[in-house]
Amino acid sequence: MLAGDRLRNLREDLGLTLRDVEAASVRLSEIRGNTDYVLPISRLSDIETKSIVPSIFRMYSLAVIYRMTVPELLTLFGVDLNKMAVDFSVILPAQTHKVNNPESVEVRIPVKLDPAFSLSKTSNFGRLVMQWGTVPLAFLEQFETANFTYGYIGSEDFTMYPLLLPGSFVQVDEAKTKLVERGWRTEYERPIYFVQTRSGYTCCWCDQEGQNTVLLAHPLSPVKARTLRSDRDVEIVGQVVAVAMRLDWAVEGNGAATRLLSKPT
């Protein structure tokens, strides 16, 4: 159903005529001291029958008269404000800035996980989600984007420590499964891959040696490199492209991979 048809139905459900709406908008314009709020009968008819999009002032008048919120009215015209947090990704400003998100924005986040999920093991988070729910919490809707999967680095997985700390969440681009073995200048530019082996998941650097894939840990990590058959023992799920990571963690002892402790506050 077109936006105009739905607006006409809303008006008729309220028992309002075109003239009633015009008169109400005139009163609103007098209160606001701005004639842009006025909805002439001819313009309202065009909105209902010719798919004309009203101005922001007339949009407000319609929302007030039809007892709707402006975001609800915008959805009739195909503008969903709940997508704003996700759509922020269309531009990446050069300057560091604070992002303020409307508290009313609803996004979908995992509300039920596979009972097998363990904080101690690195996991493919996207495959552990059994049910999604809608809550007013920004940015997390990206978890449901089909182009990516998400991984959780287990509290006992020190493979990329200290570059990626245990307990981190990583975003994985499943389209990037081909190994890149050169072209970076520092370890921070070297691609990190989310891989699945017979023993579970991990994040690591990878090299290809003939029919084998070498899983490389960070030089400061206590984890040793592993060489696995590419065709049967390891699967490159994708490349890690983003990370959410706490910084208030420390390792006990002299750097040995014992366990993580939360620093006292």
Asked whether residue 202 falls in the same domain as residue 118, the answer is yes
Say which CATH number the domain at 25 has: 1.10.260.40
91 lies in some domain: no
pLDDT value for 136: 47
What does the radius of gyration of the chain's CA atoms come to, in whole angstroms?
A: 27
Of residues 262, 240, 251, the one with CA closest to residue 158: 251
Residue ranges with strand state E in 168-247 = 169-173, 193-197, 200-209, 212-216, 226-229, 234-244
pLDDT value for 265: 36
Do residues 167 and 153 lie in contact, with contact meaning Cβ atoms separated by under 8 Å? Answer: yes
Q: Tell me the three state secondary structure of residue 236.
A: strand
Domain that holds residue 217: 109-262
Asked whether residue 146 falls in the same domain as residue 236, the answer is yes
Asked whether residue 145 falls in the same domain as residue 21, the answer is no
Asked whether residue 128 falls in the same domain as residue 233, the answer is yes
Q: Which of 79, 97, 121 is the last residue of a domain?
A: 79
207 lies in some domain: yes
Asked whether residue 210 falls in the same domain as residue 141, the answer is yes
Burial (0-12, 13-18, 19+ Cβ within 10 Å), 64: middle
Ordered per-residue pLDDT tens for the chain, 265 residues = 789 999 999 999 999 999 999 999 999 999 999 999 999 999 999 999 998 999 999 999 999 999 999 999 999 999 988 787 777 778 767 664 655 555 445 555 555 666 776 767 777 766 666 555 554 444 555 555 557 888 888 888 999 999 999 888 888 999 999 999 889 999 999 999 999 999 989 999 999 999 999 999 999 999 999 999 999 999 999 999 989 887 766 655 544 334 444 443 3
Query: How many distinct structural domains can be found in the chain?
Result: 2
31 lies in some domain: yes
101 lies in some domain: no
Say which CATH number the domain at 212 has: 2.10.109.10
185 lies in some domain: yes
Burial (0-12, 13-18, 19+ Cβ within 10 Å), 65: buried
Question: Residue 231 and residue 139: Cα distance in Å, rounded?
Answer: 36
pLDDT value for 246: 73
pLDDT value for 261: 43
Q: Which of 29, 57, 79 is the last residue of a domain?
A: 79
134 lies in some domain: yes
102 lies in some domain: no
16 lies in some domain: yes
Asked whether residue 67 falls in the same domain as residue 163, the answer is no
